[in-house]
Copies of this chain bind each other. A is one copy, B any other.
């Protein structure tokens, strides 16, 4: 799954490069894009089913700075799929160059009760997520 964006002027800082918290903003956007693309808009999930996916952990490693106007492609794959949570991995590419890579651990969460509560990821969605994981594994030539 790919999510593309261009670095905006406001994403940079006084050192002339991207301010690093923006990478997490883009990982978040890539995750929402991921679910929208497999047919499960996170907005619809939240509005209609009171389902959200809060983050419990996020990490990113930065290999090379990004600059204003850079065109970036984020490749997102499901790296781990548990009953009520998953780890989605994001790789940032500028052309062929891997500039950063990270992941988010998100919990499938039912809101609207007394307090938010972790819930099992539905089977249909789980299957779609697994398919994205498989595709990537193949690309990486792990067979």
Contact = CB atoms under 8 A, between A and B. Distances in A.
How many A residues are at the interface, by size bracket? 35 or more
A120 interface: no
Q: Is the interface of A mostly helix, strand, loop or mixed?
A: mixed
Given A13-B9, A28-B9, A58-B59, A43 B19 contact: no
A12 B9 contact: no
A21 B19 contact: no
30 contacts: A8-B25, A8-B28, A9-B13, A9-B14, A9-B19, A9-B29, A9-B42, A10-B13, A10-B21, A10-B25, A13-B13, A14-B67, A15-B46, A15-B52, A17-B54, A19-B28, A20-B54, A21-B21, A21-B24, A24-B24, A36-B69, A41-B69, A43-B67, A54-B62, A56-B61, A57-B60, A57-B62, A58-B59, A58-B60, A58-B62
